[in-house]
Structure 1
Amino acid sequence: MAHSRSINTISAACARQLTDAAAAAAAEIGVPMCIAITCAAGNLLHFLRMDGAPLLSSDIAINKAYTAAGFGMATHAWHEFIKDDPPLLHGIVHTDRLVTFGGGYPIREGKAMIGGIGISGGHYSQDMDVATKALAAIGLAAG
């Protein structure tokens, strides 16, 4: 019986490429943002706070990436998932680091979830757009 398993996770080089692609996408729309990339376990691997990005957005971006990696679900999907379930709606929102609005996506390579990306600094719709553009720029789909 095996007592361990292999886990696919994002490389540091890929995390840097995603960060650079997200910064370029944010610059295109003129909104400085915070960009966080986590490994599959939700631990921070790469982070950038662009010049002029709000300080508060640093932790939000990190927590969006953590949420996405931790559940394998985009952060914007949480609202729909919990809105009609009162016990879940009123309970889970007290979970540390859980973000329930857009800008965080699991990073997938094929069927394997290899990390999370979190973007914060604009309206959550802008954060979502920057994240999906960054993933597409390096050949990954928003998962």
Structure 2
Amino acid sequence: MSMLSLDEAERVIAAGVVRAAELSVPVNIAVLDAGANLKAFVRMDRALLGSIDIAMGKARTSALFQMNSEALFDFCKPGGTSFGLENSNGGLFVFAGGRPLVVGGGVVGAVGVSGGSVAQDDAIAQTAAAALSAAVV
């Protein structure tokens, strides 16, 4: 299994910062390794302080379950197969903005973004995650 290097984590963050600047939204971006440990983090100027924990939570959720953070919502919602799942693992963030980082078909970590709208956070996370995949090819 491949490990997430610091260089790769910084490329993910750099791509996220560029996309956030294009959208004119200051965000927090967290990159975690496959074990859900913090590898790199940035708080853009004027990014909301309260969004720091949310960015880290989205990345953690994505790393733990190896899927986009919002994909867990269907399991957690009332009537879902795992109602209350979001209360496990110290609390999960089951809305968009967390994406797994994949290298060679394996998950090596995750990125989480918070500070804009959910759609903006997700667009930034998607660009950030894609930067790792594109760099590895």
Query: In the alignment, which residue of structure 1 is the partner of 2:80?
Result: 85
TM-score in terms of structure 1 length:
0.86
Name the CA distance, whole Å, in 1 between partners of 2:73 and 2:97: 13
Identity of aligned residues (%): 38
Mark the CA change 1:97 to 1:49 in structure 2 (over 3 Å): closer, same or farther.
farther
Secondary structure (helix, strand or coil) at the match of 1:31 reads coil
Confirm or deny that 1:94 pairs with 2:92: no
Partner of 2:19 in structure 1?
A: 25
Per-residue CA shift, 1:7-60, capped at 9, x if unaligned? 422111000011011011001110000000001100000000000000010011
Q: Which runs of 5+ in 2 are unaligned?
A: none
Alpha-carbon spacing, 1:8–1:137, altered in 2? closer, same or farther (3 Å) = closer
Three-state SS of the structure 2 residue aligned to 1:78 is helix
Q: Alpha carbons of 1:106 and 1:15: their partners in 2 closer, same or farther (altered >3 Å)?
A: same
Aligned length: 132
Q: Distance in 1 between matches of 2:115 and 2:72?
A: 20
Question: C-alpha root-mean-square deviation of aligned residues, in Å?
Answer: 1.4
Aligned to 2:97: 103
Instruction: Confirm or deny: 8 A CA contact 1:64 1:104 kept in the other structure.
Output: yes
Find out whether 1:73 has 2:67 as its counterpart: yes
Which protein is bigger by CA-based radius of gyration? 1
CA contact (8 A) 1:61 1:120 kept: yes
